[in-house]
């Protein structure tokens, strides 16, 4: 019986047969009726279910250091945490921005890739100190001791390595949607639910999606600093490194791709879904995202970094060196929190009790 298509009822999945009286497809099991044309087109909708993995032709990130540049680069190594820091020949680094221990100058030439881009520091150390102070202000449950202890001077300006991805994404979405209409007569309330199959496919362009390329920089901390505005990025020159330390990447572009994939996919699906309008309910039945025209570049983003230890725990604060956005989780004063909870429970409880007393 080759060539015979099977038509499944869109409501219950049973087989549809052609009803000659109605001149429509009808489901013997649930009674749903669908026109022949609609069923044909619906079958086409159902075929959009393939997805492909992202194939990346990695353009960029392949540039090598010129010999001149190599003369101007200094590499420092931290023996405690293994951090490798790069800076220009005029800058002397003394301590590791990650663990605070002393760093040592090595003779090793950078065997890593040369960055393609750098977003230069726009904000100074002074700006960073102020931002840190502001970050601590107005936080009711922050222990006072924390804001009293001052390590502010140890703020360091670091260039964090990023892989930035350009990609074209093609998103396909098939949705089940409904519209309803209500009316009534003297005897009944009526509701008519109309069921639709909605298909959308489209492409969009993503530019410079950043993924943190350093294992030592926590990914969530770095992502919290976003967005960086890439319009202010410049082609890399060693001069930008003067006075700052640049971390070397230790996550490969391929590994970073996974995270970029995830984020791009989510955005593409959202963008496509947003074009489905005018329905009462919409649920996704199938969706896929395909990538093409991918390229990635190696860039350095500016970050002001502060590490603090308080009561044996390590706290890291970071400020976006371009936009000034300051992030970093703060510890709670548990005693104060508990006290607040008890006092408020008593106050609210008293008010609630009085209300109950008068009501009952």
Partner 1 sequence: MKKVRYILAVLLIIQSILFIRVVPCLADSDAGYDTEYEDYSDEDYYNYYRVDDSAGLLSEDEFTELDNILYDISTGYQMDVLIVTQDGLDGKNIVAAADDYYDYYEYGYGEDHDGILFMIDMDSRTWAISTTGRGIPVFTDSVQENMTSRMLPDLKDGNYYNAFRTFAFSCEDRLRSWNEDSEAGYSESSESSGLSGSAGIIVYYVVPLVIGAVLAGFVVFFFLRQLKSVHMRYAAGEYIVKNSLRLSKRSDLFLYSKVTKVPKPEEKKRGGGGSDWSSTHTSSSGTTHGGSSGSF
Tell me which residues in 199-228 interact with partner 1 (CB under 8 A). Answer: 199-210, 218-221, 223-224, 226-227
Contact flag: residue 11 with partner 1 (CB under 8 A): yes
For residue 321, give both structure tokens: 């060196």
The residue count for binding partner 1 (CB under 8 A) is 89
Are the C-beta atoms of residues 171 and 202 closer than 8 Å to each other?
A: yes
Footprint of partner 1 on 106-135 (CB under 8 A): 135
Q: x-or-dash pattern for partner 1, window 224-263, by CB under 8 A? A: x-xx--------------------------------x--x
The one segment of 107-115, 124-132, 234-242, 327-335 that binds partner 1 by CB under 8 A:
327-335
Task: Determine how β-strand 313-320 pairs with β-strand 326-327.
Answer: antiparallel
Footprint of partner 1 on 331-350 (CB under 8 A): 331-332, 335, 337, 339-350
C-alpha distances in Å from residue 256, one per residue of 86, 161, 249, 278, 292: 21, 12, 11, 38, 17
Write the DSSP symbol of residue 245: E
Strand partners, 170: 203, 290
The one segment of 37-45, 83-91, 155-163, 233-241 that binds partner 1 by CB under 8 A:
37-45
Rounded CA-CA distance 89/74 in Å is 6
CB of 8 or CB of 114, closer to partner 1: 8
Q: Which of 4, 189, 283, 312 binds partner 1 (CB under 8 A)?
A: 189
Contact flag: residue 188 with partner 1 (CB under 8 A): yes
Task: Determine how β-strand 117-118 pairs with β-strand 16-19.
Answer: unpaired
Q: How far is the CB of 279 from partner 1 (least distance, A)?
A: 9
Is residue 174 exposed (0-12), middle (13-18) or buried (19+ Cβ within 10 Å)? buried
Strand partners, 74: 87
Rounded CA-CA distance 12/84 in Å is 61
CB of 248 or CB of 290, closer to partner 1: 290
CB of 40 or CB of 154, closer to partner 1: 40
- At residue 85's C-alpha, the angle toward residues 81 and 91, to 5°, is 130
CB of 246 or CB of 289, closer to partner 1: 289
Footprint of partner 1 on 289-308 (CB under 8 A): none
Footprint of partner 1 on 58-87 (CB under 8 A): none
CB of 108 or CB of 277, closer to partner 1: 277
For residue 148, give both structure tokens: 């009293």
Task: Using the CB atoms, write b or e for 120-138: b if 16+ within 10 Å.
Answer: bbebeeebbbbbbeebeee
CB of 101 or CB of 201, closer to partner 1: 201
CB of 77 or CB of 142, closer to partner 1: 142
């Amino acid at each position: 019986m080759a060539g015979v298509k099977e038509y499944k009822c869109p409501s219950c999945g049973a087989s549809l047969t052609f009803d000659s009286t109605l001149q429509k497809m009808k489901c013997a099991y649930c009674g749903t009726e669908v026109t022949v044309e609609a069923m044909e087109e619906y079958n086409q909708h159902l075929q959009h279910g393939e997805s492909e993995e992202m194939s990346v032709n990695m353009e960029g990130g392949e540039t090598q250091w010129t010999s001149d540049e190599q003369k101007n680069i200094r590499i420092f190594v931290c023996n405690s945490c293994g951090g490798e820091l790069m800076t220009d020949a005029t800058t002397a680094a003394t301590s590791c921005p990650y663990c605070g221990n002393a760093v040592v100058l090595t003779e090793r030439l950078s065997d890593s890739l040369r960055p393609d881009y750098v977003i230069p520091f726009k904000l100074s150390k002074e700006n960073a100190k102020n931002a840190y102070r502001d970050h601590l202000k107005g936080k009711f449950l922050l222990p006072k001791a924390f804001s009293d202890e001052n390590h502010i001077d140890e703020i360091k300006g670091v260039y964090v390595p990023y892989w930035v991805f350009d990609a074209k994404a093609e998103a396909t979405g098939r949705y089940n949607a409904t519209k309803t209409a209500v009316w009534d007569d003297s005897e009944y309330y009526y509701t008519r639910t109309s069921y639709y199959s909605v298909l959308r496919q489209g492409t969009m362009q993503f530019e410079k999606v950043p993924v943190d390329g350093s294992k030592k920089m926590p990914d969530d901390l770095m992502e919290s600093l976003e967005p960086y505005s890439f319009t202010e990025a410049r082609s890399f020159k060693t001069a930008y490194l003067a006075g700052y330390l640049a971390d070397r990447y230790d996550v490969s572009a391929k590994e970073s791709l996974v995270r970029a994939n995830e984020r791009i996919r989510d955005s593409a699906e959202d963008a496509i879904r947003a074009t489905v309008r005018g329905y009462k309910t919409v649920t996704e039945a199938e969706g896929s995202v395909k990538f093409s025209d991918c390229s990635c570049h190696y860039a350095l983003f500016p970050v002001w970094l502060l590490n603090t230890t308080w009561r044996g725990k390590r706290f890291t604060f970071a400020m976006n060196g371009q936009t000034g956005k300051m992030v970093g989780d703060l510890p709670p004063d548990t005693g104060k929190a508990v006290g607040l909870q008890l006092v408020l429970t008593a106050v609210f409880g008293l008010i609630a009790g009085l209300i109950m007393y008068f009501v009952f």
